Chain A
Amino acid sequence: MSELGGTTALLRAPLNQVSPRAVPYWTISALVGDEVLLAACVAARLLVPGVPGWTTWLLVVLAVLAVVHAVVMPRIRYDVHRWEVTPIAVHTRSGWIGRETRIAPISRVQTVDSRQGALMRAFGLASLTVTTASAAGPITIDCLDADTARELVAQLTAVTATSEGDAT
């Protein structure tokens, strides 16, 4: 298949799953987002005069879709989202309809950030972002257990402090 020779191989999934508490967190944030959109549509339906009757059904469909999204998306996402940090590379997989796999060598890591929104704090979650010298290359691990995130930041920071050069 390939001119590059060798055995054909694929990437396996990274080993670790994110925190199980990510599922309720994603559910709630999806619900909040969808409800805001739905409320805006309902308000428009009620306030704008002379709207045809079938738009009510459109709103019902929209509401059903919102519920399905909030129920299905977090579960798929939880299955897909994975991460792994080895001494040479950071490897993540994310997405729910599509898939995105990212790999960056530890030697090229420039900054390690962790982020925790208000809602995330309520669930004891934190996100971790590893950036490289490329604007296209930041790697985010969403919804880690807050303690795991803290350990990982410390570990990555220690490793990157020892690497040399400007990593471009």
Chain B
Amino acid sequence: MIAAPEDGWIRLDPRKLLLDPVKAIGQAVVPVLVALVGISRSDTSYWPFLLPVVVIGPLLLGALPWLTTTYRLTESQFQLRSGVINKRTSTAPLDRVRSVDLEASLLHRVLGLEKVQVGTGVDDERITLDALARLDAARLRATLLARTRPDVPAGTPTTSGPAGPGRPEGWLQDPSAPVVRRPVPPQELAAIDWSWLRFAPFSLARLVVVAGALGVLSQFADDLPILDADQARSAWEWLRQFAVALVVVVLAVGALVGWVLIAVLGYVVQWWGFRLTREAGSLHLRSGLVTTRSVTVEEAKVRGVELGEPLLLRGVGGAELRTLTTGLENGTTQVLPPCPREVAVGVGGDVLGEVRPLRVPLVPHGPRARRRAWFAAVRGVLVLPALAVVPVWRWDLAWWWPLVVAAVTVPLAAVVGEAAYRHLGHALAGDHLVAGSGSLARVRTVLETEGVIGWVLTQSWWQRRIGLAHLVVTTAAGAERVVVRDVPVAVGVALADATTPGLLTPFLVPTDQALGLGPGQGERPSCSGQERRSR
């Protein structure tokens, strides 16, 4: 039915024959069960015909990709052919291969397989080989990456003799063949240090997952027999015999211990065997206990980093690091687990090429920016005292209740506002623009000046009255924008001018003659005397 692969083309690992049916059955199990239940209710005489179809179907469907998918490595290209009816050939020129990522789910790992993803950096689409034997995958990766070494010019005749299409297995079995040079040994930037586990409970990212799980559990809680109303009441009576405070303490301690366990477990599962290396012009991250994850970020596409210190993590001296890259679906990649701030700063400096942008003190934005930060935070919580008025009016509570609410929330908001102001700031350090932001978390975004695409200066009506503006740096990397918030207009313009020399020059005028985004009104230029550039 399906021919054996032609010369030079190699099939995926035969163990894929096990991998895919298991997956296929997993996916088909729900519709099949639904169908079975439906049919068994009406007529059981179909059973002998149906069962083989249901079992053999997934097996056959799972086997087809293995029979039809082949790949080969020629002198200049890596090719993958796949598809049953619609044949598709994906081709990657070898000198364009930018990343080779290996990934293994639990099932892959049990079978000793790995999924290989080859990225060319030209577009987001990646060629996926699912799956190869672990050893073959590693060799293929080394081979492909060795070809991309910058000191090997594209098209150099590195092949001699019958290597290549004529000798399909040769490049795999014989690493000393003259086809490739030895790859540069990877340079290690960071590796897991289990003392970092102490940061796990202070990183709240996982709390979302826990909250989600609790939400799901509460869906079932109604069905549980213990939560019957009568039983709940008797349980409450039973509880009241003890000190309520004790119960609360026990619950709190229990929740805390549970959280620490979950956080530590999650950290271990996610960051087991974590290694960040620099290899063939790319950053390569590999980690994971159950599912091994591997991420390759081409350094030429890294435009900056973001150092994040969420409130709790900062309290214990920890930080997280993300890279800002262009051309990836998701422009920010977390490249370090929560770890000591010094480690994050060091690795960030390695990635950027200079560590100064991560250490340089930020220029604060002045008293008007502070006022705005305070005001924004307080305005945010004034809703609460206002809401507290409703129960007072409805149920005749004491009139001072809203005041109590205000007395509690407003100082808290003021603290948050002050924190937001202190995190605010900017700097220009070497080839990098630095922007500080965040209210509860402290975030420092560092962007290469080369990565700046343009500028947007926005002013709300309020900002215009006090001469502040948001300076938005547009870029192709990360979130595609970096905002320097509430900066005095003249300072923002000077920063933009210094970051991209020459770009703003024709539009600059000394402050007193400014017609543009001045702090006040009265900025209406008379157009009559000026030459109108109608092109």
* Chain A residues within CB distance 8 Å of chain B: 1-4, 6-17, 79, 84-86, 88-89, 91, 93, 97-105, 108, 132-137, 139, 148, 151-152, 155, 167-168
Contacts of B326 in A (CB 8 A): 133, 168
Contact across chains for B491 and A11 when beta carbons are under 8 A apart: no
Given contacts A10-B514, A11-B514, contact A99 B464 (CB under 8 A): yes
User: Which A-B residue pairs are the 9 nearest by beta carbons?
Assistant: A10-B514, A104-B454, A137-B474, A136-B481, A133-B476, A134-B474, A168-B476, A11-B516, A9-B508
Chain A residues near B480 (CB-CB < 8 A): 134-137
How far, in angstroms, from A15 to B525 measured CA to CA in the complex?
A: 9
Q: Can you offer 10 A-B residue contacts whose CB atoms are under 8 A?
A: A2-B363, A2-B495, A4-B428, A9-B497, A10-B514, A17-B532, A84-B533, A93-B517, A101-B517, A137-B453
B426, chain A: closest CB distance, angstroms: 10
Which residue of the partner chain, among B301, B496, B516, B535, contacts A155 with CB atoms under 8 Å? B535
B518 and A3 within 8 A (CB): no
**Interchain CB contact (< 8 A) of B456 among A16, A79, A102:** A102
Contacts of B515 in A (CB 8 A): 12-13
Per the bound structure, the CA–CA distance linking A13 and B496 in Å amounts to 16
A8 touches B510 (CB 8 A): yes
Size of interface on B: residues with Cβ below 8 Å to A = 60
Which of B301, B476, B517, B530 has a CB less than 8 Å from the CB of A10?
B517
When chains A and B are docked, how far (Å) is the Cα of A85 from the Cα of B533?
8
Q: A1-B491, A136-B481 are in contact. Are A7 and B510 (CB under 8 A)?
A: yes
Nearest CB on B from A168, distance (A): 4
* Interface segment out of the listed B66-74, B94-102, B370-378, B498-506: B498-506
CB <8 Å contact, A105 and B456: no
B327: which A residues are within 8 A, CB to CB?
168
Select which of A7, A8, A84, A103 is within 8 A of B455 by beta carbon: A103
Measured in the bound complex, the distance between the Cα atoms of B534 and A151 in whole Å is 9
Q: Which residue of A lies closest to B459 (CB)?
A: A99
**Secondary structure class of chain B's binding surface, majority of residues:** mixed
Q: Which of B451-502 contact A (CB under 8 A)?
A: 451, 453-461, 463-464, 472, 474-477, 480-481, 488-491, 493-498, 500, 502
How many cross-chain pairs have Cβ atoms below 8 Å apart between A and B? 175
How long is the Cα–Cα vector from A137 to B514 in the complex, in angstroms?
A: 24
Q: How far is the CA of A108 from the CA of B463 in the complex (A)?
A: 29
Judging by beta carbons under 8 Å apart, are B511 and A11 in contact?
no
Select B530's contact among A2, A9, A15, A155, beta carbons within 8 Å: A15
In the complex, whether B527 has a CB less than 8 A from a CB of chain A is: yes
Interfacial chain A residues near B456, Cβ < 8 Å: 100-103, 136-137
Cα–Cα distance between A152 and B457 once the two chains are bound (Å)? 24
Give the chain B neighbours of A84 by CB distance below 8 A. 507, 533
Contacts of B523 in A (CB 8 A): 13
Chain A residues near B217 (CB, 8 Å)? none
Chain B residues lying within 8 Å of A97, measured Cβ to Cβ, are 460-461
